[in-house]
Structure formats: C-alpha cells, structure tokens
Structure 1
Amino acid sequence: MSPSTAAAPSPLPAYVYKILPEAPPEPLPSEYPLSELDRNDGFVHLSTATQVPKTADLFFAEATSLWLLKLPLAGIAGATRWEGPEGGPFPHLYGNFGAREVEGAREFSRAEGETWSAALERQGGWLV
C-alpha cells in the first residue's frame, strides 16, 4: 500500500533528516546505501526536526545512540513528496541522496531509561 499524499507543511522546513542506527560511512558516498526499509518502500524515509524525536522514540527505542544526517530541503525538494498518516506529513525522497546533499552528520546518545525526545532536547541546537 503506497503512502497517501498530503499537503506540504507551510512554511517548508529548511532541513530534513535521515535517522541512522549506526555511523554513516566515511567519507559519505555519492550515492548513500539504502536501508532495507527504504529499498522495500521505494523511497527514503526522512523526518523534519519536529518529527525526529517521536520517530526515534517509535522506531529506535532500543538504541542507545543514533546518527542524524542533515539535508537541506532545497537540494532535494524536486524529488520529495509529503506523505503519510497521523504525525505527518513526512518527507519521502523518491530517489537517493549522497555526500553532495548532506550538510552535516551528528551522533546523539541517550541514557538508560531516557526517551529520545528527552535526549535530543538535552543535546539540542542541531535540529532546526
């Protein structure tokens, strides 16, 4: 079942983020290796800054560290659709990205029993 198209947020965010369960390859390749989920769904799952904490809490609850890649939306806007159910719309990149589209990468960690929402707020300032 394909995701439902939704209206893009207004105003559009300057950045979207790819959540990774481990460190990205260094140097970043020109074509980032797609996760199994992204390959199967046919698009790259991305999140806005406000969606990252909840997405991390839902899908990475067992992880004690995560990496975020920061992508300027302007560089991928033409291939990005805003789709999804509640909590959306989520940015879905139909295609791929690589080193040229990534402005930054950062590791985040959380303490035992701490939610990702709390950990990201504590280590704030990078999500915009």
Structure 2
Amino acid sequence: MTSSDPPMPPHIYKILPSAPGSPIPAALAASDLDRTDGFIHTSTAAVVPTTSRLFFHAAPELWILKLSTAQLARDGARCLWEGPQGCVHVYAADAGLVSLGAANVLDVMRFVRRGEEAWDEVFGREDARAWLVDA
C-alpha cells in the first residue's frame, strides 16, 4: 500500500463461476489463474460489476464470496492494492496460496442474469447493492 492508496475496505469479494459448496468447505480449490499468479484475485464491491463483465461475460450465474480483510490479516494474509483501483491481491505469508474457506468467507451470494441482462444490470439491483458494500 502506498500513501496514495485508499484504506483497505473491511470486505473484498472473490468471484466464482460455479457454486462453492454448501456449507462452505474448510478449503476451496484455488482457480487456475490464482495458482499461476501466486495470489488470490479479488475485487472491491465497486469493481465487482466491471470484473464480472470483463472476465465472466458469458457466465449465466456467478457466486460471490464476501471476505473479511481483517480475518485474512489475522490468518497471516496480506491484502494489497494492485493494478487498477479496486483490484486487491491477497498474498500468503509464505510462498503458498492463501486458503479461502469456512474460516474466512463471511457470506456467499448467487447472482443470476435474466436473459440478455448484463452484469452491470444484475449488480445494479437493490439486493445486490445492499449486499456488495465496501464500507
């Protein structure tokens, strides 16, 4: 974090193209991209619509994990602003990947597109705006 970065929000979000399991397992499998890059890609609430549009444009539904940045820090993870505003990368204290799962996932919500609806429209709905919060 540099002096020009905003403070880390209390929640960040991991976007999944399929259901994570119910109940949330102790450890979720990391995505291929996360394994390749060596960190967990997450978004702030404000950037979830853009990330969804850019990287999950063809998905009919998405599952969003709400993560606590404070809990991740207690688990030894480092949450860092990187790339465009709203991109938060989560690094493990060691050379491995942070394990996301029941201990650090606060909530999960399924979002479904109606017909040709764009992700910006889905996340503009009142229920989505109430759940996706940065503060």
Q: In which range does the TM-score fall when normalised by the shorter chain?
A: 0.7 to 0.9
RMSD, aligned CA: 1.9
Could you tell me how far apart the structure 2 residues matched to 1:83 and 1:20 are?
Answer: 20
**Deviation sequence 1:8-32 (CA, Å, 0-9, x none):** 7423211001100011122222222
Could you tell me how far apart the structure 1 residues matched to 2:72 and 2:38 are?
Answer: 16
The gaps in structure 1 that reach 5 residues or longer are: none
Could you tell me how far apart the structure 2 residues matched to 1:6 and 1:56 are?
Answer: 27
Please, which moves more after superposition, 107-116 or 76-85?
76-85
How many percent of aligned residue pairs carry the same amino acid?
41
Kindly tell me the number of residue pairs found equivalent between the two proteins.
Answer: 123
Letter in 2 for 1:103: L
Counterparts in 2 of 1:127 and 1:88: CA distance versus 1, 3 Å: same
Q: Which residue of 1 aligns with 2:78?
A: 80
SS at match of 1:50: helix
Could you tell me how far apart the structure 2 residues matched to 1:82 and 1:7 are?
Answer: 13
For the pair 1:126 / 2:127, whether they are aligned, the reply is no
For the pair 1:113 / 2:133, whether they are aligned, the reply is no
SS at match of 1:70: strand
Counterparts in 2 of 1:89 and 1:104: CA distance versus 1, 3 Å: closer
Could you tell me how far apart the structure 1 residues matched to 2:64 and 2:40 are?
Answer: 14
Asked if the contact 1:7–1:89 (Cα under 8 Å) also holds between the matched residues in 2, the reply is no
Q: Which residue of 1 aligns with 2:57?
A: 61
Query: TM-score, normalised on structure 2?
Result: 0.81
Which of 39, 42, 45 matches 1:46? 42
Counterparts in 2 of 1:7 and 1:99: CA distance versus 1, 3 Å: farther
Could you tell me how far apart the structure 1 residues matched to 2:108 and 2:17 are?
Answer: 13
Please, which moves more after superposition, 69-78 or 101-110?
69-78
The gaps in structure 2 that reach 5 residues or longer are: 92-97
Query: TM-score, normalised on structure 1?
Result: 0.85
Offset, 1:96:
2.1
Which of 88, 93, 100 matches 1:91? 88
